[in-house]
Amino acid sequence: MASTAIRPSMGALGRISSAGATTAPRPLISTTQTASLSTTTALLKRHKYPGARDNKDYSKTRGESAIRRTGTRWRLSMSDEPLPKPVPREQLPAIETDPDHGLWEFFANRTTVANPPEEDAKHGRSWSVEELRHKSWDDLHRLWWVCVKERNRIATANWERNKSRLGFGEAEALARDREVRATMRAIKHTLTERFYAWEDAVKLAENDPEVDLTGDGPAFTPRDYLEEGEATAAEGEQQQQVAEAAEETAEKAQPAPAVTPDPATIPIAPEYDVIVLGTGLTECILSGVLSVKGKKVLHIDRNDHYGGCVHRIPLDPLFKKYGNYAPGTEPWKQYGRLNDWNVDLVPKFLMSSGELTNILVSTDVTRYLEFKQVAGSYVQQGAGPKATVAKVPSDAAEALKSPLMGIFEKRRMKSFIEWVGQFDIKDPATHKGLDMSTCTMREVYDKFGLEPGTKDFAGHAMALYSSDAYLDVKGGAPEAIERLRLYGNSVARYGKSPYIYPLYGLGELPQGFARLSAIYGGTYMLNTSVEEIVYEGEKAVGIKATMRGIEPEMKFETRAKTIIGDPSYFPGKVRVVGHVLRAICILKHPLASTNDSDSCQIIIPQSQVGRKNDIYIACVSSAHNVCPKGYWIAIVSTIAETSANHHLELAPGIERLGKIEEQFMGPPIPLYEPLEDGRKDNIFISRSYDASSHFESTTDDVKDIYKRITGEELVVEGLREGIQVAAE
């Protein structure tokens, strides 16, 4: 051992020499000192018999002593580690902020946190009540929010001043705030005055025989004055003369030589079977169906385009209709080719197994139209920022992934839907022991133990009821079940969603039926106003009308046993049954959480937003040729429940849309229904389009009117049997 200690290995020698001569002897000395004097093997290294005690030292702190200040056995300091250097501020990437961020509004300007006191002191006086009395509601509304914003700015500045302990400026800010508050008080004062004035007016109106506040019929019926009666008599005479003159010219023009009889050469006949006024969808379906059945139809519209209320309009008339522009400007210029826009005024889709589809197929009007599926049907749960929008499941896989229901609820829903599929009104065995003649839908839901949320989406997003009234209708369950089946069948037809939508918009539908009617000999006159309905006794027997837009205007008179029209032609024969609120919005993005669909429907059930009626959002896009690429058109609609603040009623729907490029919202649209069924006076009036998202109620109206006119049911199947097409 000694020899190895004295004679280091060759490798060790190299290290020693490189370390330097002075340090070389030290390892030698230390090795000599630590060498063991004993020749016996150290205890630790001795052979251990089996089961011997392990004498390894497990103490981690062995040898550590506070008294001897040994320190820990491991290194504590990280001082050798290079510390990361902070990036200089100027090298940091700039944080992107929105220059139009709403929070900027809380500051007077963008460079300082608070205005200097002299700036704050520069303010005028508050508005006085006297001045505000002359302002409109809109002006007051606007001024109120200007004040609210100003107060927010002052409060922000106060807080900043306090935080930075500036110690000045409070007095000036307070004086400014006082003036703003005075203005706000004056606004409230003015509005209160107006409210009292309105109350007084209502009291007066209740006692006024000319005013009818019940909501049925026109609100204001002025009494007849003598001058008016005289005027109409004179006008009538004049009309007759002109009509005679027109007849004469028509007679002169008639003998024009024609090679073959062209339908175009047939003049206005003295008598038709049916005269239809207005080219809305209901009227056009009726005139098409009646023409196919061999009736001679004259179809008149006072507008120069087809469709009445459903008609689609290009963009610039839309701006003009709603007055969304400053005079002299043309904001529609920024939206590309105007002819690319076909904005519907009625937000409806077709159910792909619905009755309208059946009529389209059976009359072969489908050959003029092209349809595309609506990508999805969605329903909202919850309200406000926490609301979630989820697809109404259209197949088993989607149902399993659907966030609309919990795991147990999905099972209950499954058995409910399966039961709906098997349900047969004639077979009591499928009624689950419920008496269908008296049973309400609520009882059916409870039978299956469905949760309120599930009832909501089944009733509103699938059965498409717009309020909860259906739940407690005695014997109403079969109808609700039928609606659920219609939804299911419509989804099953093309998958994805139950809705289809015609390319170029809903305005195509009346045009298609109008062409059907024309092919079967129907005569069409647009741009023609009806001056008078001619009566004999109680029955209407004809009309007097003028066709405009040609030189000279053509006045004519013709007779018919039946007159059909939309409510706008018979203001005295209809009553208002409600109002629809509608906002048409142009967007540059698809709706949030709809999987970027090109089209969709979102239903916000009334219970989720504390209303009585559902809010519908219908969204279509360039995929349906209704607008240029990159745009979406969304229509939010609901039934009005209040008499003011209509924009607040639509707010939950509009919130879903995100950034809106352009919003068109007019006054509430009245819904009309006829006062009488038309059998007495031969005038059959259609109903207005309701707020629902599909056309089922429209086709019901068509069938109803058809039955009243002809006395027989409209059989949809086999309508096309009468249609002959030149075969190849």
Partner 1 sequence: MADSNTPKPSSSVKLVLLGEAAVGKSSLVLRFVNNDFQENKEPTIGAAFLTQKCNLPTRTIKFEIWDTAGQERFASLAPMYYRNAQAALVVYDLTKPTSLIKAKHWVAELQRQASPGIVIALVGNKLDLTSDGAGSGGDADGAGAEDSGDARKVTTEEAKTYAEEEGLLFFETSAKTGYNVTEVFTAIANAIPETSLKTARGPGASHTAGRTEEQRVNLNGPRDPNAKEGCAC
Question: Under the criterion CB under 8 A, does residue 488 sit at the interface with partner 1?
Answer: yes
For the bound state, the minimum distance from the C-beta of residue 725 to partner 1, rounded and expressed in Å, comes to 6
Q: Which is nearer to partner 1, 127 or 524 (CB)?
A: 524
In the chain, the amino acid numbered 535 is Y
For the bound state, the minimum distance from the C-beta of residue 477 to partner 1, rounded and expressed in Å, comes to 15
* Residues 670, 688: Cα–Cα separation, whole Å: 8
Q: Which is nearer to partner 1, 600 or 639 (CB)?
A: 600
Question: Under the criterion CB under 8 A, does residue 511 sit at the interface with partner 1?
Answer: yes
* Residues 73, 85: Cα–Cα separation, whole Å: 30
Question: Under the criterion CB under 8 A, does residue 271 sit at the interface with partner 1?
Answer: no
Of 378-407, binders to partner 1 (CB under 8 A) are 393-396, 398-399
Of 155-194, binders to partner 1 (CB under 8 A) are none
Q: Which is nearer to partner 1, 380 or 394 (CB)?
A: 394
CA angle, residues 260, 288, 686, in degrees to nearest 5:
140
Of 708-727, binders to partner 1 (CB under 8 A) are 722-727
Only one of the segments 17-25, 57-65, 482-490, 654-662 lies at the binding site for partner 1 (rule: CB under 8 A); that segment is: 482-490
- The CA-atom distances, in angstroms, between 423 and each of 213, 448, 515 are 46, 14, 40
Which 3 state secondary structure label does DSSP give 619? strand
Among 515, 555, 573, 611, binds partner 1 (CB under 8 A): 515
Q: Which is nearer to partner 1, 288 or 347 (CB)?
A: 288
Among 317, 478, 521, 658, binds partner 1 (CB under 8 A): 521
Of 346-375, binders to partner 1 (CB under 8 A) are 352, 357, 360-361, 364, 366-373, 375
Of 419-458, binders to partner 1 (CB under 8 A) are 420-422
Per-residue contact string for residues 220-259; x = within reach of partner 1 by CB under 8 A: ------------------------------------x-xx
Q: Name every residue whose Cβ is closer than 8 Å to that of residue 17 and which is 6 or more positions away in sequence.
A: 24
* Residues 375, 362: Cα–Cα separation, whole Å: 25
Of 530-559, binders to partner 1 (CB under 8 A) are 547, 549-550
* Residues 90, 237: Cα–Cα separation, whole Å: 89
Among 5, 16, 121, 525, binds partner 1 (CB under 8 A): 525
Question: Under the criterion CB under 8 A, does residue 606 sit at the interface with partner 1?
Answer: no
Q: Which two tokens stand for residue 540?
A: 């209407």
* Residues 366, 589: Cα–Cα separation, whole Å: 31
Q: Name every residue whose Cβ is closer than 8 Å to that of residue 522 and which is 6 or more positions away in sequence.
A: 287, 288, 291, 297, 298, 299, 514
Of 99-128, binders to partner 1 (CB under 8 A) are none
For the bound state, the minimum distance from the C-beta of residue 548 to partner 1, rounded and expressed in Å, comes to 10
Only one of the segments 228-236, 440-448, 520-528, 683-691 lies at the binding site for partner 1 (rule: CB under 8 A); that segment is: 520-528
Q: Which two tokens stand for residue 17?
A: 């020499």
- The CA-atom distances, in angstroms, between 101 and each of 164, 656, 678 are 24, 19, 59
Of 305-334, binders to partner 1 (CB under 8 A) are 306
Among 345, 462, 506, 560, binds partner 1 (CB under 8 A): 462
* Residues 583, 345: Cα–Cα separation, whole Å: 9
For the bound state, the minimum distance from the C-beta of residue 579 to partner 1, rounded and expressed in Å, comes to 30
Q: Which is nearer to partner 1, 480 or 500 (CB)?
A: 500
DSSP assignment of 635-649 equals EEEEE--SSS-HHHH
Q: Measured in whole angstroms, how far is the alpha carbon of residue 48 from the centre of its chain?
A: 86
* Residues 125, 146: Cα–Cα separation, whole Å: 15
* Residues 254, 263: Cα–Cα separation, whole Å: 13
In the chain, the amino acid numbered 366 is T
476 contacts 438 by C-beta, under 8 angstroms: no
Q: Which is nearer to partner 1, 389 or 484 (CB)?
A: 484
Of 607-626, binders to partner 1 (CB under 8 A) are 623
For the bound state, the minimum distance from the C-beta of residue 186 to partner 1, rounded and expressed in Å, comes to 54
Q: Which is nearer to partner 1, 429 or 727 (CB)?
A: 727
Of 554-593, binders to partner 1 (CB under 8 A) are none
Bridge partners (DSSP) of residue 532 are 544
For the bound state, the minimum distance from the C-beta of residue 499 to partner 1, rounded and expressed in Å, comes to 10
Span between the terminal Cα atoms of the chain, in Å: 117
For the bound state, the minimum distance from the C-beta of residue 534 to partner 1, rounded and expressed in Å, comes to 21
Which 3 state secondary structure label does DSSP give 610? coil
Mutual angle of helices 508-519 and 281-292, in 10-degree steps: 20
Question: Under the criterion CB under 8 A, does residue 91 sit at the interface with partner 1?
Answer: no
Among 64, 208, 418, 661, binds partner 1 (CB under 8 A): 418
* Residues 603, 629: Cα–Cα separation, whole Å: 25
Q: Is the peptide bond before 552 cis (omega within 30 degrees of 0)?
A: yes
Only one of the segments 105-113, 173-181, 382-390, 479-487 lies at the binding site for partner 1 (rule: CB under 8 A); that segment is: 479-487
Q: How many residues bind partner 1 (CB under 8 A)?
A: 78
